[in-house]
Structure 1
Amino acid sequence: MTLFSDRPGDDGLPGHERARVMAAVMTTTLMSVFDGTMINIALPSMAKALRVSADLAVWFSNAYLLSAAMMLAVFAALSIRFGYRRIFLSGLTLFTLSSLGCALSSTPEMLIAMRILQGIGGAATLSIAPAILRSVFPGRLLGRVLGLNALLIAFSTAVAPVLGGTILHALSWQWLFAINIVPGCIALVLAGRALPRQRASTNARFDARFDAPGALLSAVLLGSMIMAANCFTGAQRASGHVSLEFVGWLFLSLASALAFTRQIRRARYPLLPPDMFKNGRFTLAALTSLASFISQGITFVALPFLFQSVYGYSPVASALLFTPWPIGIVLIAPHAGRWADTLSAPLISTLGLGVFVVGLILLATLPASPSAWDIGLRSLACGIGFGCFQSPNNREMLSNVAREHASYASGVLAIVRTFGQCLGAAAVGVILAVMASETHQGLDGRAVHAALWVAVAASAVSVAFSVSRLRKAHRAPA
């Protein structure tokens, strides 16, 4: 394969070593995506087996997301001090062992505790995975390998619900976690043999004290955003008004955001170096990613309501209607990554966003009784557009920072993805709650379509950010 062929002057690792690192990183990514997606379908079964309420069972999923989000920036910074190898192997070990702990859990408290540990381990690997790929692959292949990574995530997203349902039908919910153990051990062996040991750096940053206040503020900021988004799920959204709990979490997130911004500007060795954001192309790529993931987060939450509550499809049929979206990403992402290595990554990602906007407009204008084919084709257009955008934009982010800042860029990439999806989920909750309060009725098609139009607006903002960087890219191509 060309991904593992060597050329004179290539940086990174030799081809055969790149193959082992890529296998370890992508196996770990596959486990994390499966674990985060399959669990949702099992929540009713887990609640029944452990004899808990549905509200408590939601925390079997939320505990993982919350702990992972709170630690993303922390591990990105720690990898600078201790190296990718130590952080990745430690995180993968914790993820694998806590998966075993989840499978052996006999009480809800034990399961939630194991899920928190699993989220911490997942954050350690996911926050630096793109940086590891950049460090071992030459720049000429960066877009291609990021495209394959996007393909893997999309494929996992499409297959995970089906695999989870099959496991639940044949076995117990514990096997949803037990299946991580063997792949986790294989990934540990591959990563232990292939990840290079980093030499001690002469950069003072490696010897500096860790920015503990910045780490704490980062964790509070991301955690409070997740909690604010969680206030608009389930019963709280059904109440039809904005809760005081949501206001409290929102205030905490805004206050911690201001404090965190001040901290990284004043700290000698901040958790995230502000100088990194002085590169206009990196900053615009990050803002483009944030706006696009807000749009995707809105759509991912709104569409199941549209399919099931408005059109009357079953949960299984709803999942099948959604499948064309990840299929579109699978079809286009590898090609988009390859194009980004030889053509203009900002131009390709901007064109992809244009297709994404068109697809969202098609979904927002669905008629009252559309056919399954009509819904599927419109979802496919969204997937093709997002797949064309994602890997070139990720390449743009990683290639516009110095190599020693790659882990920071990787952490920012993970943060804007998580932040965007959480804002999107919260936006849907606010829209549905406000419209239900105004009409004094339950969920109807107008509220869901309004949420989809907000997704269109967010994606249009991402297009504006992306277009604004084309001039910078033309002046100083990557």
Structure 2
Amino acid sequence: MDNKYPDGLPNPQRLGAILTIAFGITMAVLDGAIANVALPTIARDLSASPAESIWVVNSYQISIIISLLPMSFIGDIVGYRRVYQVGLVLFCLTSVFCALSTSLEMLMLARVLQGFGGAALMSVNIALIRLIYPKRFLGRGMGINSFVVAVSSAAGPTVAAAVLSVASWKWLFLINVPIGMISLALALKYLPPNLKKSIGQRFDIPSAIMNALFFGLLIAAITGFSQGQPLTIVSVELVAVVIVGFFFVRRQLSMGFPLLPVDLLRIPIFSLSMGTSVSSFIAQMLALVSLPFFLQTVLDRSEVATGLLLTPWPLATMIAAPLSGYLLERFHAGLLGGVGLGIFACGLFGLVLLPHNPSDFDIVWRMALCGFGFGIFQTPNNHTIISSAPRDRSGGASGMLGTARLLGQSVGAALVALMFNMFHDNGTHASLILAGSFAVVAAVVSSLRVTQPRVD
């Protein structure tokens, strides 16, 4: 079935469709954020050690990253709307499974399955936005999506704390059910079908297996390294990553419709945008993981004060993301991205240069600068990634965008562990310098895109 609206949806269908995306992504992002906060409570209730409870988060993250590209590929074949709707159903059902879990092993299995549902939502949400908005307003759609993600991330700890203060951790998963059901009802009514589908595109099972092995082993190696796993095991995992990766890429290069979209990486502005995306998320994670240690152990701030001091970052991103979407209609994405990353780098280096006994204001304005710069960058970068791909490959581009984010975050978290192992008490300082360096490199790469034709 062809979309009868070749250049976006008319209102009010457009509003209904974007609300569908907003509810679904809010649910998936909130779930990741609130699970982190609830880990100590879950570990105590299920008689698990802190180290074992980490796998409640890791199992979810690994299942998402190994299934993002296959889900987006399936979206290109059967339609992004169908993948999104199935993802909503699966996410709701597995949320109930999580809530009914009575052991850590049962909860981990539920989280793996829930990760597949989350991957279905994340893999095609940007591709759907491309169908929902007219070309001239696509930047606004990307800005709204970034705004929703920032709000959900900022609200996660608060929502988790509020729920845990009055109810069991199980309700952290059960609140997904009404949100998911509302989103599903909207999805059935408002989401558009794909404009066109590629003829001859088939799902390749060996490619999916190689994809799962490659990204699963890579995340396992990165996570193991960050958690102090023996170097022998990490080295074996990395060798396996190289071997699997070689045969995986080789197979993709021989395919007309590759699962790993190596054909899209041949588009200069697409590959440059992917590079800036990975670098920016490495920088973001280096800062956000290391700063709480600095605020609590060095500056002796309380947990509540630490949370409040970190809040200006996502709040500033919430303001900048939709603003950047409007600016994108007038300025080149490479220029906006370079400026945003430059502001981001200034904020990071500003945190490095904090005075010995900083006031709250000293910290707050630097946090806000980081968040504002990241928000100015993210919307045009996401817009470029999705718009530079052919319309019938929007799913692959959307999947690559999500993979870049998760990969960057995983590498950033591992680098924080390395900085603390190497520099001990100065680990946060080293992490912030490294984060600023990644942001500068990303700003330079983003600025190189100005020489490329503007993508509308």
Same fold by TM-score, threshold 0.5 exceeded? Answer: yes
Contact 1:228–1:426, Cα closer than 8 Å, also in 2: no
What are the within-5 Å matches in structure 2 for residues 360-399 of structure 1? 360-399=348-387
Quote the offset at 1:400 in angstroms: 1.1
Deviations 1:187-217 (A, max 9, x none): 1111011223458846222xx3x22222112
**Which amino acid in structure 2 is aligned with residue 308 of structure 1?**
Q
* Equivalent residue, structure 1, for 2:220: 227
Alpha-carbon distance, 1:376 to partner: 1.0
Q: Is the aligned partner of 1:461 residue 2:441?
A: yes
Q: Deviations over 1:125-167 (max 9, x none)?
A: 1011000010121111111111111111111111110111111
Contact residue 336 and residue 391 of structure 1 kept, 8 A: yes
Q: SS of the residue aligned with 1:14?
A: coil
User: After the TM superposition, which residues 195-344 of structure 1 pair with which residues of structure 2 at under 5 Å, given as runs?
Assistant: 195-198=191-194, 201=197, 203-205=199-201, 208=202, 210-234=203-227, 236=228, 243-344=231-332
The match for 2:427 among 433, 442, 447 is 447
CA distance in 1 between counterparts of 2:17 and 2:429 reads 44
- The aligned length equals 452
Q: Once structures 1 and 2 are overlaid, which stretch shifts more, 369-378 or 243-252?
A: 243-252
Q: Is the 8 A contact 2:77 2:198 kept in 1?
A: no
Structure 2 equivalent of residue 438 of structure 1: none
Match for residue 357 of structure 1?
Answer: 345
Q: CA deviation at 1:267?
A: 2.5
The aligned counterpart of 2:34 is: 38
* Pairwise CA distance, 1:333: 1.0
Task: Tell me which residue corresponds to 1:130.
Answer: 126
- Are 1:75 and 2:71 an aligned pair? yes
**What residue number does 1:190 align with?**
186
Gap change, CA 1:232 and 1:316, over 3 Å in 2: farther
* 1:200–1:469 distance in 2 versus 1, CA, 3 Å: closer
Tell me whether 1:165 sits opposite 2:158 in the alignment.
no
- Write the deviation string for residues 49-108 of structure 1: whole angstroms up to 9, x where unpaired: 111111111111111111111101111111111111221111111001000111111121
Q: Deviations over 1:319-366 (max 9, x none)?
A: 111101001101111110111123222211111111011111101222
Name stretches of at least 5 consecutive residues in structure 1 with no aligned partner: 1-8, 436-442
Match of residue 135, structure 2, among 132, 139, 162: 139
- Whole-angstrom CA distance in 1 between matches of 2:241 and 2:298: 34
Q: Which amino acid aligns with 1:382?
A: C
| Cα displacement (A) at 1:118 | 0.5
* Cα 1:367–1:192 shift into 2, 3 Å: same
Structure 1 distance, partners of 2:143, 2:382, is 9
Distance 1:368 1:405, change over 3 A: same
Partners of 2:246 and 2:440 in 1: CA distance: 27
Amino acid corresponding to residue 301 of structure 2 in structure 1 = Y
Relative distance call for 1:434 and 1:355 in structure 2 (3 A) is same
Unmatched 5+ stretches in structure 2: none
| 2:219 partner amino acid | I
Q: Which amino acid aligns with 2:220?
A: M
Measure, in 1, the Cα distance between the counterparts of 2:135 and 2:435: 34
The verdict on how the C-alpha distance between 1:260 and 1:10 changes in structure 2, with shifts beyond 3 A counting, is: closer
Q: Verify the 8 A CA contact 1:339 1:345 in the aligned structure 2.
A: no
SS class of match (2:329): helix
CA contact 1:211–1:269 (8 Å) conserved in 2: no
Measure how far apart 1:177 and its partner are. 0.4
Distance 1:290 1:132, change over 3 A: same
Q: Is residue 48 from structure 1 mapped to residue 28 from structure 2 by the alignment?
A: no
Q: Which amino acid in 2 is paired with 1:465?
A: V
Q: Hey, what's the Cα distance between the residues in 1 that align with 2:417 and 2:171?
A: 32
Cα separation, 2, equivalents of 1:408 and 1:262: 18
Pair 1:81–1:392, CA change in 2 (3 A): same
2:335 is matched with 347
Letter in 1 for 2:188: G
Q: Aligned match of 1:120 in 104, 116, 121? A: 116
Structure 2 counterpart of 1:384, one-letter code: F
Q: TM-score, normalised by structure 2?
A: 0.95
Q: 1:85 aligns with which of 70, 77, 81?
A: 81
Residue identity in the other structure for 1:133: I
Corresponding position of 1:471: 451
Q: Partner residue of 2:62?
A: 66
Q: 1:259 to 1:314 in 2, by over 3 A?
A: farther
After alignment, is 16-25 or 351-360 more displaced?
16-25
Equivalent-residue separation in structure 1 for 2:6 and 2:213 (angstroms): 41
Q: 1:267 to 1:169 in 2, by over 3 A?
A: same
- Are 2:126 and 2:398, in contact at CA under 8 Å, matched by a contact in 1? yes
Q: Secondary structure at the match of 1:172?
A: coil
1:202/1:360 CA distance change after superposition, 3 Å: closer
Query: What stretches of structure 1 move > 6 A for 4+ residues in a row?
Result: none
RMSD: 1.7
